[in-house]
């Protein structure tokens, strides 16, 4: 009976996964900075989620469950490659036509570079909070850490980013740095 139930639920789940794919990809990319690897991580996440759909107890926690699978895939990759592997493959080869677009791309590149410099534990928390929009409780569940640890890591990550970006602006760069809290 469960197999028949899963057959009818599969198309609905596939549709819901497809809706979340872009967000999963952005978070995966922010962790690994490699388009191919990010795509592979998301594909593996979707595959494992479909294979284990019956293990999802509460449909309301689908996002948390998917990001936990993504995080496990990322950690599995790091374990295979070695814990010290950091990938830096951020290249934006778009031709910019306006000075505003150029300035905006410079800001985005500097923020990406600053995020790349964060230790992985801080990078994971800040990307889940500020890119994916998860609450502290959801991040704690995804990363399997106490909520207080989430708050302290997020504070340290944001403080580190703020210091890095202000240092960049103070080093003779004419780039205006406007920091705002996302949450």
Q: What would the pLDDT profile of 124-140 be if each residue is shown by its tens digit?
A: 999 898 888 889 999 99
CA 76 to chain centre: 16
Domain layout of the chain by residue ranges: 1-88, 96-183
Topology, domain 1-88: Rna Polymerase Sigma Factor; Chain: A (1.10.1740)
Contact 91, 97 (CB under 8 A): no
Does 100 score more than 70 pLDDT? no
Largest pairwise CA distance in the chain: 68
Query: Where is average pLDDT lowest: 53-57, 68-72, 109-113, 171-175?
Result: 171-175
Q: Which residues touch 85 (CB under 8 Å, ≥6 apart)? A: 78
What mean pLDDT is predicted for residues 162-178? 64
What mean pLDDT is predicted for residues 104-115? 78
What mean pLDDT is predicted for residues 32-53? 89
Does 1 score more than 60 pLDDT? no
* Same CATH fold assignment for domains 1-88 and 96-183: no
Q: What CATH number has the domain spanning 96-183?
A: 1.10.10.10
Q: Using CA atoms, how far apart are residues 136 and 142, in angstroms rounded to an integer?
A: 10
At 10 the pLDDT is 62
pTM above 0.75, yes or no: no
At 178 the pLDDT is 54
């Amino acid at each position: 009976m469960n197999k028949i139930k899963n057959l009818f639920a599969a198309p609905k789940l596939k549709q819901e996964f497809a809706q979340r794919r872009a967000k999963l990809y952005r978070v995966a990319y922010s962790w690994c900075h490699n388009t191919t690897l990010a795509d592979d991580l998301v594909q593996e996440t979707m595959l494992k989620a479909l294979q284990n759909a019956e293990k999802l107890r509460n449909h309301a926690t689908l996002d948390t469950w998917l990001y936990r699978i993504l995080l496990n895939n990322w950690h599995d990759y790091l374990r295979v490659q070695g814990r010290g592997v950091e990938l830096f493959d951020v290249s934006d080869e778009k031709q910019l036509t306006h000075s505003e677009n150029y300035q905006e791309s410079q800001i985005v590149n500097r923020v990406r570079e600053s995020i790349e410099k964060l230790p992985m534990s801080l990078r994971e928390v800040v990307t889940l909070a500020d890119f994916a929009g998860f609450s502290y409780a959801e991040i704690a569940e995804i990363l399997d850490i106490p909520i207080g640890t989430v708050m302290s890591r997020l504070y340290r990550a944001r403080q580190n980013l703020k210091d890095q970006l202000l240092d960049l602006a103070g080093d003779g760069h004419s780039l205006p740095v406007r920091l705002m809290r996302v949450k």
